Amino acid sequence: MIRPLSCLLLPALVMAAPAPKVLSPETAVQRMLEAFNAHDLEGFMGSFGEDLVIGQIPAGLPGPRTKPWLRALYVDRFQANPDLHVSAEAQVVNGEFLVQKERIKGRVGQKGALDVVVVYQVKGGKIVGMWEVG
């Protein structure tokens, strides 16, 4: 038999339980950059949703660019570029989209930094879209 008091307490306890934290676009992208700079491949890949879409604006990249493609790319890049580092120079957030100017340093055989603009789409605390501008 259910007691009346327990019927009142259960909904109150459910309402009082903390909601799972979902990372904001700013936090999700920052964590991805931190893992990138640590050359932590698993942490880096964990920043992305399984349905990740990678592209270029305007469209220009041939073939599918997905999470497995990104993993294969950065397995090699992290090994070949031990000083690879990215920093966020400026960003604008609008809802689930974050547009960020980034500076990439430490590319073997390349003098100076590379400046890029990237649009990230974040849903449920994971990056699900990433488009390089230019």
Domain ranges for the chain, please list them. 21-133
Tens digit of each residue's pLDDT, the chain (134 residues): 555 555 555 455 455 556 557 889 999 999 999 999 999 999 999 999 999 999 988 877 676 689 999 999 999 999 999 999 999 999 999 999 999 999 999 999 998 999 999 999 999 999 999 999 97
Contact between residue 56 and residue 132 where contact means Cβ atoms under 8 Å apart:
yes
Bridge partners, 57 (sequence order): 133
If you ran DSSP here, which 8-state letter would residue 112 be given? S
User: What's residue 60's pLDDT?
Assistant: 74
User: What's residue 29's pLDDT?
Assistant: 98
If you ran DSSP here, which 8-state letter would residue 129 be given? E
DSSP string, 4-71: HHHHHHHHHHHHHSPPPP---HHHHHHHHHHHHHTT-HHHHHHTEEEEEEEEEESS---S---HHHHH
DSSP string, 60-98: ---S---HHHHHHHHHHHHHH-TT-EEEEEEEEEETTEE
User: What's residue 82's pLDDT?
Assistant: 95
In this prediction the pTM is 0.81
CATH number for the domain whose boundaries are 21-133: 3.10.450.50
Omega cis (within 30) before 58 = yes
